[in-house]
Structure 1
Amino acid sequence: MSAEHYAEEQQNEIDILQSIYPTEFVQESTDPCRFSLTIAVDDVDDIRPCTLQLTVEYTPTYPDELPVFEVALADEGNDAPLTDIDAELADADIDYLTQKTRETGEESLGMAMVFAMASSLKEVAIERLLKKTADLKRIKDQRIQKEIEAEQAKFIGTPVTRESFMEWKARFEAEMVDVARLAAEAEERQGARRAAAAAAGSLAAGAKKDSRLTGRQLFEQDKSLAMSDSRFITDGDVSVDASLFAKKEEEIQPSDHE
């Protein structure tokens, strides 16, 4: 095929592309022939809209060989806030789309292939976004389900089995034994305190009783008592020897043999 024929084939495809993509086709240069197509992915429910750009440069022998091309995300994107189920295309996705677009071109060698490459690019992008969106929805549903189960678990007690009941019963009985022992020890300590208090009271009462002396004992122990009345003695009064009374009292005490 001559160079003129290749050029004619290429111009015919450009005319067709301009009619299919009147606003999306942008001629960047004529020598070499280079142009771009803006591919909007915004007509599918359940996915976040995005825009791709396919840039193509014809080789001298196109369409008998693949054109030089590039797939990229366009600058005009979706400015709406992302939700937790909004999927976006990442670098790995662009690499995947590029490979699939190349495979489509290789299947169309020998004839105009840009339209087929652009159509394949949009379809694969939609499939990729649908799959990623479904994955995000599944992850969200799993998270919600776990949250629901965790909330319900707060109101569900542990199932009782014979083994768990016997374990609880053994622990409860051991606790009751400890409680009874502690109560007995406390009662014993309290009784000891009461006994000690009673003994201390008896000793104090005895000490108080023993500390009270008779008038005679006071008189004998404190000689000043005998002298305290000396100022009342007048002429003619006779002093008394107390020891004489003591001897006299001993003489009149009855003997044990009487």
Structure 2
Amino acid sequence: MADFQAILDEEFEVLESIFPDELEKLGPTQVRIRVEPEEEVTGHPLCAALVVSYPPTYPDVIPDLALEETDVGELRDGEADAVVAQLNGVAEESLGMAMTFTLATAAREALSALIVARQVREKEEDDARTRAYEEAEAAKTKGTPVTRESYEKWRTAFLAELAARRTKDEEERVRSLPAKEREEVKRKIARPSGRQLFETSKVSATSDEALYEDGEAVDMSKYTREERDRARWGSEDEGRVKLDESDSE
């Protein structure tokens, strides 16, 4: 026991010279050392306390280690256990000799690696959020592939909507006119269009092609236009002769 305490006292004396402000003796066999990452990282402040409890058979056995939070930064879930596991591995390699300084140095390195891991994880999360946002925006603008059927359906609906809107606009325009101008517009609308007149003339032109000869219908489509005109003029001359004879009687 005397040799164990002498070994500890000698180690504590060395530790106090190395960590004058960081070391705190909690008892004859327990110390707390404040450790910080090797390099400060902006946006990731972190400081922890390494608590070392020495068993009577130290340094031939690994001391009990714990990592506690301080007033700077927070240890996230599982981080303290991960650091302690690394330190236990370092202690295993240092059995048989004073190892507290080595453990404190390893703790600083572990905190630095922990912050790097945080940065990598945060970047991955940011990238995942960015991809999700970009995919969502792309889905909004991608729409449905256009086919001939979908285009025709859209075109029919669009033209119908356009015609309805024009009709509505025209009705509103007419309603805003003075009464006299409204009547004039109505007359123009009721007046047959050139196309309607053309269609009517076609019907009239073909209506006399079925003439009657001796009480039977004659298909005038078999004759040329000149022959049909001569036949029509002959009928008119015959009618005038009969009229003159009746007048002379």
* Smaller-chain TM-score bracket: 0.5 to 0.7
Name the Cα RMSD after superposition: 3.3
Instruction: Name the CA distance, whole Å, in 1 between partners of 2:95 and 2:109.
Output: 20
- Once the two structures are TM-superposed, the CA of residue 9 in structure 1 deviates from its matched residue by 2.1
Using CA pairs under 8 Å that are at least 6 residues apart, name the structure with larger relative contact order, 1 or 2.
Answer: 1
- Structure-2-length-normalised TM-score: 0.55
- Tell whether 2:167 aligns with 1:169: no
Could you report, residue by residue, the CA deviation over 1:38-66 in whole angstroms, capped at 9, with x for unpaired residues? 11237332551111111122222211112
The one-letter amino acid of 1:124's match is A
- Once the two structures are TM-superposed, the CA of residue 69 in structure 1 deviates from its matched residue by 2.5
1:55 paired residue number? 51
1:227 paired residue number? none
1:112 paired residue number? 98
- Once the two structures are TM-superposed, the CA of residue 157 in structure 1 deviates from its matched residue by 5.8
Instruction: Name the CA distance, whole Å, in 1 between partners of 2:103 and 2:40.
Output: 20
Match of 1:94 among 52, 74, 80: 80
Contact 1:42 1:50 in 2 (8 A): no
Structure 2 SS opposite 1:50: coil
- Structure-1-length-normalised TM-score: 0.53
Same amino acid, percent of matched pairs: 25
Match of 1:26 among 13, 24, 30: 24
- Tell whether 2:115 aligns with 1:129: yes
Instruction: Name the CA distance, whole Å, in 2 between partners of 1:11 and 1:41.
Output: 27
Displacement over 6 Å in runs of 4+: 174-177
Name the stretch that deviates more: 43-52 or 65-74: 43-52
1:8 paired residue number? 6
**How many residues were matched structurally?**
164
Structure 2 SS opposite 1:26: strand
Could you report, residue by residue, the CA deviation over 1:186-229 in whole angstroms, capped at 9, with x for unpaired residues? xxxxxxxxxxxxxxxxxxxxxxxxxxxxxxxxxxxxxxxxxxxx
Match of 1:65 among 45, 61, 67: 61
The 1:54–1:167 alpha-carbon spacing in structure 2 relative to 1, beyond 3 Å, is: same
Name the stretch that deviates more: 140-149 or 114-123: 140-149
- Once the two structures are TM-superposed, the CA of residue 13 in structure 1 deviates from its matched residue by 1.3
Contact 1:47 1:129 in 2 (8 A): no
5+ residue gaps in structure 1?
A: 79-87, 181-258
Structure 1 SS opposite 2:47: strand
Match of 2:72 among 70, 77, 92: 77
